[in-house]
Structure 1
């Protein structure tokens, strides 16, 4: 078995793709003609988006939607960047909400946190 996808549930797939292209320089790999599913090129594991509409059809008992007005869900996605401060500023300029400014952790790694326009928690970290 291999890890294949991280899928984020978002209200607007096209807007999520646009944000991640602007904020992190990712490239769209696939967008379904329905605009309810898309994938980004990230290397070995795809980052994908599913519309709330499609997610609700897949999960008939519902799910907890991400929202900037609520606390972040108990998970995050992480992007590794050589220059965490620049990546952090780029994400904020693209519409992210700053959560934790870049800081060096005791083990020497620099990390920062933002929330994307959908409220999803994103860590930006230097390589280990």
Structure 2
């Protein structure tokens, strides 16, 4: 198995794409003409956004991502060498700060923000797997 993509269901795909461009410096790779689906350039694994109205779960209910709600039990993580600058850029673009940049025992510097949809986003230095 190989992770192909992660899809986050959102109320407004174009608004979310624009937000991720401003907050995290990503670029749009593709947006369907309906604006109900888009993909971002993120490396080998695609980050995509899909409109809540097109979720296909055969009637299974889901909890929508909302800024005012408790965040869901998942996160996406962006890797950077400068967590402090990336955290400040994300907050300046409208992310809600959750945890300021700090070191963790396994050697990374990490921080957390919530995006415009209330999704939890980690910003971290690369993991050093050699030591």
- Using the size of structure 2 for normalisation, the TM-score is 0.93
Deviation per CA, 1:64-107: give whole Å up to 9, x if none.
10111111100000000100010001001111000000001122
Shift in Å at residue 45 of structure 1? Answer: 0.5
Question: 1:6 maps to what in 2?
Answer: 6
Shift in Å at residue 61 of structure 1? Answer: 2.2
Which residues of structure 2 form unaligned runs of 5+?
none
Shift in Å at residue 31 of structure 1? Answer: 0.2
Which residues of structure 1 form unaligned runs of 5+?
none
Question: 1:120 maps to what in 2?
Answer: 119
Count of residues in Structure 1 that have an aligned counterpart in Structure 2: 126
- Using the size of structure 1 for normalisation, the TM-score is 0.95
The CA distance in 2 between the partners of 1:50 and 1:29, in whole Å, is: 14
Question: 2:38 maps to what in 1?
Answer: 38
Please give the secondary structure, in 2, of the residue aligned with 1:49.
strand
Question: 2:100 maps to what in 1?
Answer: 101
